[in-house]
Structure 1
Amino acid sequence: MIKNNSIDHGKEFDWGRASSDYAKYRDIYPPKLYQKLLDMDLCTEGQNVLDLGTGTGVLPRNLYPYGASFTGTDISENQIEQAKNMAEQAGMDIDFFCMPAEASEFPDQSFDVITACQCFFYFNHTRLAPKLHGLLKKDGRFALIYMAWLPFEDVIAGKSEELVLKYNPEWTGCKETRHPIEIPDIYPRYFERESEEIFDVKVPFTRESWNGRMKACRGIGASLSEEKTEQFDTEHMALLEHIAPQEFSVLHYTAISVLRAKQAGWRA
């Protein structure tokens, strides 16, 4: 269980409870996102990459064909088990470990790139920033990635979000608008900002896959009882039959921020 007073007003959640839906329905990042990372020379051939908060290993599995060596960590045992199984089934040699990002147990200067996709705001940054600086090689980079639907611009996203709030009024992962990833004040001690980009994407879904995506959000599958999740499932599918065609796209925005590790002499 995770409890953070700045997230969902302190309501507990556990990503492990949503792992099966997460594995099935949350591999949705569009090719444009992965190409942006590759164009930035991130996660490319010859690089050692650590993916924090890896979940079911979506980022490493999709970028694996481009030649980087990946390691993924996550605090949820269920998520890591899903990641291991899916990588093995795909014939991918990726190391996955269940451990908090702040307590990553790797030697210093192990990685060329560290990524954090859809998870940066969960971490204890006072502990994480110096840890990551130590894990990165000289001039290593830390890439932050975030993607969210736009409920005020996309009717299907907006109506679905309203239903999530009906079942879980404490959920704070709502009412998104485009904005850069917020970088806590401690990071400039260890990193300098290299680049920042925000762009829109349209993500394709069917009624079933969008319903699964919504169940696999923090506000439903990771927070509610099985009974309440099933009730949401039924009501949401009925809603989609009225407002959505069988196949459709949902408007999202994506933000990428890249931080470069300062040289060892930053302490001076």
Structure 2
Amino acid sequence: MQVDFGRTSSDYAKHRAGFPDAFFTRLAREGVLRPGLRAVDVGTGTGTVARGLARHGCAVTALDVSAPMLESARGLATEAGLRIDFHQAPAERTSLPSNAFDLFVAGQCWHWFDRPAAAREAARLLVPGGRLVIAHFDWLVPAGSVVEATEALIDTFNPGPPAAYLAFGQGLGVYPQWFRDIADAGFTGLESFTFDVVVPYTHESWRGRIRANARVGASLPPAEIVRFDAELAALLSERFPQAPLAVPHRVFALMATRP
């Protein structure tokens, strides 16, 4: 599957829910997040994590490989009145100086990277004692839910979930394999937390959220995206007419320290 999130950057910016405020509050409570930190956010996408870090007083550098995603991220940061230094670069080869950051964050993106190379780059970028956070914000799939029905429809257009889904998260919203990635790169003091939240969606915003999915707007041909969206609209009207839709999500975060 050839995935290009730049093709769906407008839907991504408008409809993909970023990490909830409770995620940043929890990082602060864990001592990972505080004002004044120099933070780098890799795989920033439309900048949801970068904006959260900036709102909490960090000096943020944010990276992504997609120019359209970065354009959306810059626009959203400007609208929010936040100063963030955006660069187009991969997480594995950032070209940023060594020992330049106190905090390294990868939100909703670690599975897309060459993970060992990204972990080594994180260790290079961080100062001794610097902290790393790998985080995900995934929907859950209760039986009979709108998520289950939507995933079944996606399968008819783009069969089979991404390899990363099968090998790692498996629909549970937890990622034990990431612990080995980070330990192998020399990080210590590994800890994790999870918690669940419910995200409300209108029918329109759920359709937009799904168009921004890797297996829909980021990979299907344009005509197929239109056809998929029409079928999803019909499915929602027939089987899930209530609004808003209450979609359960799980936050997962792995934290570690660079010796």
Relative to the length of structure 2, the TM-score reads: 0.91
Q: 1:243 and 2:239 equivalent?
A: yes
Paired position in structure 2 for 1:126: 116
- Identity among equivalent pairs (%): 31
State the shift of 1:123 in Å.
1.1
Residue among 157, 171, 176 paired with 1:176 = 171
Paired position in structure 2 for 1:3: none
What is the alpha-carbon distance in structure 1 between the residues aligned to residue 238 and residue 24 of structure 2? 33
Paired position in structure 2 for 1:65: 55
Aligned structure 1 segments of 4 or more residues deviating by more than 4 angstroms: none
153-162 or 91-100: bigger deviation: 153-162
Kept in 1: contact 2:179–2:254 (CA 8 A)? no
What is the alpha-carbon distance in structure 2 between the residues aligned to residue 69 and residue 125 of structure 1? 25
**Which ranges in structure 2 are unaligned for 5 or more consecutive residues?**
none
What is the alpha-carbon distance in structure 2 between the residues aligned to residue 144 and residue 243 of structure 1? 36
Kept in 1: contact 2:203–2:243 (CA 8 A)? yes
State the shift of 1:194 in Å.
3.0
State the shift of 1:184 in Å.
6.1
What is the alpha-carbon distance in structure 1 between the residues aligned to residue 207 and residue 116 of structure 2? 36
State the shift of 1:187 in Å.
2.7
State the shift of 1:106 in Å.
1.1
Give the letter aligned to residue 233 of structure 1.
D
Relative to the length of structure 1, the TM-score reads: 0.88
Residue among 74, 94, 103 paired with 1:104 = 94
Paired position in structure 2 for 1:197: 193
Cα distance change of structure 1 residues 186 and 205 upon mapping to structure 2, 3 Å threshold: closer
Residue among 26, 39, 43 paired with 1:49 = 39
Cα distance change of structure 1 residues 46 and 208 upon mapping to structure 2, 3 Å threshold: same
Paired position in structure 2 for 1:155: 145
- Residue 220 of structure 1: SS of its match in structure 2? coil
What is the alpha-carbon distance in structure 1 between the residues aligned to residue 140 and residue 4 of structure 2? 25
Paired position in structure 2 for 1:165: 155
Q: 1:187 and 2:182 equivalent?
A: yes
Paired position in structure 2 for 1:26: 16
For residues 203-247 of structure 1, the C-alpha deviation after alignment (integer angstroms, 9 at most, x for no partner) is 111111111111101010101011111111111111111222121
For residues 102-137 of structure 1, the C-alpha deviation after alignment (integer angstroms, 9 at most, x for no partner) is 111111111100000010111112322222111101
What is the alpha-carbon distance in structure 1 between the residues aligned to residue 79 and residue 107 of structure 2? 23
Cα RMSD between the aligned structures? 1.7
Paired position in structure 2 for 1:210: 206
What is the alpha-carbon distance in structure 1 between the residues aligned to residue 55 and residue 116 of structure 2? 34
Give the letter aligned to residue 183 of structure 2.
P
For residues 64-96 of structure 1, the C-alpha deviation after alignment (integer angstroms, 9 at most, x for no partner) is 222111111011111011111211222211011
What is the alpha-carbon distance in structure 2 between the residues aligned to residue 195 and residue 256 of structure 1? 8
State the shift of 1:199 in Å.
1.6
- Residue 220 of structure 2: SS of its match in structure 1? coil
- Residue 192 of structure 2: SS of its match in structure 1? strand
What is the alpha-carbon distance in structure 1 between the residues aligned to residue 245 and residue 20 of structure 2? 15
Residue among 73, 79, 87 paired with 1:89 = 79
112-121 or 145-154: bigger deviation: 145-154
Q: 1:253 and 2:250 equivalent?
A: yes
**Which ranges in structure 1 are unaligned for 5 or more consecutive residues?**
1-10, 263-268
Kept in 1: contact 2:53–2:60 (CA 8 A)? no
What is the alpha-carbon distance in structure 2 between the residues aligned to residue 75 and residue 184 of structure 1? 25
Give the letter aligned to residue 255 of structure 1.
F
